[in-house]
Structure 1
Amino acid sequence: MTTRPYVLLSVATSIDGYIDDTSPERLLLSNEADFDRVDQVRAESDAILIGATTLRRDNPRLLVNSAARRDEREARGLPPYPLKVTVTRSGALDRDLRFWHHGGDKLIYCPDDAVPELRERLGDLTDVAGLGEVLDFSAMLDDLGARGVKRLMVEGGGTIHTQFLTAGLADEIHLAIAPFFVGDPAAPRFVNPGDFPYGPENRMTLAEARTIGDIVLLRYLPGDIH
């Protein structure tokens, strides 16, 4: 049996739970100190996962920015950057996205019928792995475990976080809360409506609460529901 990776969901939200607004520019929720904390978590991870919608909207590079942290990874026999992973149903991913052209190895998970077109369009920019007729996140974690990924950092967006949480596949949540409101019902949220196993009868454990400048970081452990 393959050991699945430890799954850490990382998100920054407004007080009212939004992860962005509807303007063309990315909304900066964290401060510099919190961005540095996130960089440390990335450096401690074997892989970083982001959904295709967030990839298209934010066009991130998704790197470990600190040269010292990259050097520390290499000193431990690891590549300087974690594996970068994305998940797509449609396969609509442009080869010009910055994600493909920075950092180390990349991997796409998609339904089997999207594999040929993605391989043709993206070529040697990324590995492409099919997950059957539909996206099965449990199968994805099994495959990541088989690839040697022991710690997976999930950076969103809302659909991806919802799928991990409703399936009971998250081991830890890092929730950074910015001191302002967005208030736009059209803006994306941390999670979408769903059948979450962590209701009043199954409360999560608050493992840590601390301030980082004007940000509050809450670290929750959802617990084993299987």
Structure 2
Amino acid sequence: MTRPHTTVILAMSADGKIANTQRQAARFGSAQDRAHLEAEVAKVDGVLFGAGTLRAYGTTMRVMNPQLIQQREAGGKPPQPVQIVVSRQAKIDRNLRFFQQPVPRWLLTTSAGANRWQNSSHFESIRVDETATGEIDWPQALAQMPFERLAVLGGGELVASLFAEDLIDELRLTVCPLVLGGRDAPSPVSGVGLPAGKGLELISVEAIAQEVFLHYRVIGTLQD
């Protein structure tokens, strides 16, 4: 099945954590990192993130730079990519500022989650793709998205689910100058682990001030 080209974009501490043990919003990236994230978001058609990430931040990254918006419109794209919240149960606070942001919003969930949002105008589209066990059917879900490029902004459980199905093409990681520690602090890829591992090819590395920007291409399992 065809699907969007999928890029994970995350900032992490020097010890590989994307949040502290309380799973609070990771606001340790610099202005340079935020500009980098906005530029990457401006390239895609859709942005995918989990409900936990939404709860932590309360908002999503939208394109604010007028030049980036102009570039999108010149390329035939709408001013903002579609913001896609992923949640099996869809227990999301309807008062989050996210629902006041001027962006198109979708919900990707199961039939149980969709029932919570019946007759609601909070999402422009509610998409149900689930397996027989009630989990989200990721290959089917991505195959049905009418996008060429998709950004994944976390969290670690979501990234792990996509990696497990070989649905990640690239990683863009910003290494920030701090250590968070904690066995319960989330990492870029959480879940139960990837026994075979995933091989990466380094495309570029750039150090700006105190941060390091890494760009990898996923090349398959380590057994390939």
Tell me how large the CA RMSD over aligned residues is: 2.0
Deviation at 1:113, TM superposition (A): 2.5
Per mean C-alpha deviation after superposition, the further-off stretch among 96-105 and 133-142 is: 96-105
Q: Report the counterpart of residue 217 of structure 2 in structure 1.
A: 221
Distance 1:204 1:71, change over 3 A: same
CA distance in 1, matches of 2:220, 2:199: 11
- Shift of residue 58, structure 1, vs aligned partner: 1.6
Q: Which residue of 2 aligns with 1:43?
A: 42
**SS at 1:210's partner residue?**
strand
Displacement of 1:19: 0.7
- Gap runs ≥5 in structure 2: none
Q: Which ranges of structure 1 fall in alignment gaps of 5 or more residues?
A: none
Q: Distance in 1 between matches of 2:178 and 2:157?
A: 23
Q: CA deviation at 1:24?
A: 8.3
Query: Structure 2: how far apart are the matches of 1:135 and 1:24?
Result: 23
Residue in 2 that maps onto 1:131:
129
Misfit runs of 4+, over 3 Å: 22-25
Alignment of 1:1-226 (within 5 A): 3-22=2-21, 26-120=25-119, 122-132=120-130, 133-144=134-145, 147=146, 149-196=147-194, 199=197, 203-224=199-220
Structure holding more strand per residue: 2
For 2:128, give the aligned amino acid.
G
Q: 1:138 is matched by which residue type in structure 2?
A: P
CA separation of 1:131/1:163 partners in 2, compared to 1, >3 Å: closer, same or farther? same
The structural deviation recorded for 1:161 is: 1.0
User: Following the alignment from structure 1 to structure 2, what is the Cα–Cα distance between the partners of residues 176 and 150?
Assistant: 24
Separation of aligned partners in 2, 1:90 and 1:117: 8
TM-score of the aligned structures, taking structure 2 as reference length: 0.89
Given that residues 22 and 185 in structure 2 are in contact (C-alpha distance below 8 angstroms), is that contact kept between their aligned partners in structure 1? Answer: no
Which structure features the higher share of helix residues?
A: 1
Q: Residue 168 and residue 24 in structure 1: after superposition, are their counterparts in 2 closer, same or farther (change >3 A)?
A: closer
